[in-house]
Amino acid sequence: MPKKGHIPERTCVACRIKAPKWDLIRFVAKEGEVILDERGIFPGRGAYLCKNCLPKRTQPKILKKLKKALRIIEK
């Protein structure tokens, strides 16, 4: 049986698919905004989208999920 415990898996916040973290695109919260962390350099909590959901990131529904995952409080 293959060991897979060492693969860091993340979940796409939009479609809930699980994938290795390097297959997903990371977002972080910065000053209350959702920022695309293209190079994975920003510290702190990250939220992830898969490549299929990436084009939908500006849709209100998806943006809301990102904000929730990043603990951004909407006014």
Binding site for Zn ion (CB under 5 A): 12, 14-15, 50, 53
Output the smallest distance, CB 29 to Zn ion, in A.
19
Output the smallest distance, CB 15 to Zn ion, in A.
3
Strand ranges (DSSP E) for 1-75? Answer: 9-11, 18-20, 25-30, 33-36, 46-49
Output the smallest distance, CB 3 to Zn ion, in A.
26
Instruction: Return the number of other C-beta atoms located less than 10 Å from residue 60's C-beta.
Output: 7
Residue (61 or 75) nearer to Zn ion, CB: 61
Length of the chain: 75
